[in-house]
Amino acid sequence: MGQTIIEKIISEHSDEEVSPGEIVDIRIDVRAARDFGGANVVKNIRDHALPVADPSKTLFTFDCNPGGSDQKYATNQQVCRDFARQQGIGVYDIDAGIGTHLAIDGGHAVPGSTFVSTDSHANILGAIGAFGQGMGDVDIAQAFAFGKVWFKVPPTVKIVLNGTPSASASAKDITLAMLRQLGANGLLGYAAEIYGEIVDELDLASRITIASMATEMGGIVALFPPNQAVLDFCSAASGRPVEGVFADADAEYHSVIEVDIEGLTPKMSRPGHPEDVVDVSSLDGTKIGSAFIGSCTNGRFEDLEIAAEILRGRKVAPGVVLKIVPSTDRVWRQCLEAGLMDVFKEARALVSNAGCAGCAAGQVGQNGPGEVTVSTGNRNFAGKQGKGEVYLASPAVVAASAVAGAICLPDQIPEEPAIFAADAPTTAPSEEQGTQTGTEGKPPKLKGRVWVVEQDNIDTDMIFHNRYLTVTDIAEMGQYTFDNLEGWEDFSSKAQTGDIVVTGKNFGAGSSRQQAVDCFESLGVSAVIAESFGSIYERNAINKGFPIVVADLISRGLTDGQVIEVDLESGSITLPSGETTPGQFSKVQKEIYERGGLLSR
Do 99 and 359 contact (CB within 8 A), yes or no? no
CA distance 147 to 327: 27
Helix (H, G, I), strand (E, B) or coil at 324: strand
Query: Would you tell me how many other CB atoms lie within 10 Å of the CB of residue 342?
Result: 13
pLDDT value of position 466: 85
Closest CA relative to residue 397, chosen from 411, 413, 408, 405? 408
What residue type is 91 in one-letter code?
V
In this model, does residue 432 exceed pLDDT 60? no
- Entry pTM: 0.86
Q: What is the pLDDT of residue 360?
A: 67
Give the count of alpha carbons within 13 A of 544, CB side only: 27
Question: Which residue type is seen at 138?
Answer: V
Please report the pLDDT score of residue 439 as a whole number: 36
What average pLDDT does this structure show over 68-83?
A: 86
For residues 99 and 63, the answer to whether their CB atoms sit within 8 Å is: yes
Buried b (16+ CB within 10 A) or exposed e, 419-449: eeeeeeeeeeeeeeebebeeeeeeeeebebe
Percent of the chain at pLDDT exceeding 70: 96
476: Cβ–Cβ under 8 A, 6 or more apart, which residues?
A: 436, 522
Look at 47 and 431; give whichever has higher pLDDT: 47
Rg (CA), the chain: 23
Could you tell me if 390 and 273 are in contact, meaning their C-beta atoms sit under 8 angstroms apart? no
Number of Cβ atoms within 10 Å of the Cβ of 387: 16
CB 150 within 8 A of CB 133: no
Q: CA angle, corner 352, sides to 348 and 355, nearest 5?
A: 145
Rounded Cα gap, residues 585 and 571, in angstroms: 5
Distances (CA, A) of 514 to 118, 315, 536: 9, 42, 9
The pLDDT value given to residue 429: 39
DSSP assignment string, 211-268 = HHTTGGGT-SEEEPPP-HHHHHHHHHHHTS--------TTB--SEEEEEE-TT---EE
Phi and psi at 274, nearest 5°, equal -55, -30
Q: Are strands 389-392 and 372-375 parallel, antiparallel or unpaired?
A: parallel
Residues 6 or more apart whose CB falls under 8 angstroms from that of 580 comprise 572, 573, 574
Looking from the CA of 373 toward its CB, the CA atoms found within 13 Å total 34
% residues pLDDT > 90 (the chain): 88
Query: In Å, how far are 155, 283, 290 from 370, measured between CA atoms?
Result: 42, 17, 11
Average pLDDT, stretch 446-472? 93
- Taking only the tens place, the pLDDT of each residue in 34-49 is 987 899 999 999 999 9
* Residue ranges of domains in the chain, CATH in brackets: 5-260 (3.30.499.10), 268-412 (3.30.499.10), 445-594 (3.20.19.10)
Three-state SS at 443: coil
Residues facing residue 291 across a β-bridge: 322, 374
pLDDT > 80? residue 307? yes
pLDDT tens, position by position, 488-526: 999 999 999 999 999 999 999 999 999 999 999 999 999
> 3-state class of 2 per DSSP?
strand
501: three-class secondary structure by DSSP: strand
User: With 70 as the cut, is the pLDDT of residue 342 above it?
Assistant: yes
| Whether 128 contacts 109, CB under 8 Å | yes
Q: Cα-flanking dihedrals φ and ψ of residue 125, to 5°?
A: -60, -20
What's the average model confidence in pLDDT over 449-466? 96
Smallest CA-to-CA distance from 445 within 527, 379, 508, 504 is with 527
Residue 505: name the closest of 456, 549, 551 by CA.
Answer: 456
Question: What pLDDT score does 441 carry?
Answer: 58
Torsion angle of the four alpha carbons 434, 440, 441, 447, in this order, in degrees rounded to the nearest 10:
-20
Query: Residue 291 is which amino acid?
Result: A
The answer, yes or no, to whether residue 431 has pLDDT greater than 70, is no
Report pLDDT for 367: 87
Of the candidates 566, 600, 598, which has an alpha carbon nearest to the alpha carbon of residue 585? 566
- Mention every residue, 6+ apart, whose C-beta is less than 8 A from residue 160: 195, 196, 256, 257, 258, 259
Quick one: average pLDDT of 59-75?
Answer: 83
List all residues 6 or more positions away from 422 whose beta carbon is below 8 Å from its beta carbon: none
Q: In angstroms, rounded to a whole number, what is the distance separating the alpha carbons of residues 517 and 35? A: 19
Q: Phi first, then psi: what are they for 392, rounded to 5°?
A: -105, 135
Query: Where does the pLDDT of residue 364 fall: very low under 50, low under 70, confident under 90, or very high at 90 and above?
Result: confident
Which amino acid makes up residue 271?
P
CB 572 within 8 A of CB 582: yes
Maximum Cα interatomic distance, the chain, rounded to a whole number of Å: 72
- In degrees and rounded to multiples of 5, residue 149 shows phi and psi of -140, 160
Average pLDDT on 27-33 reads 97
Residue 71: exposure state from Cβ atoms within 10 A (0-12, 13-18, ≥19): exposed
Quick one: which of 544, 550, 546 has its CA closest to 48?
544
Query: What amino acid occupies position 531?
Result: E
Q: Is the pLDDT score of 245 beyond 60? A: yes
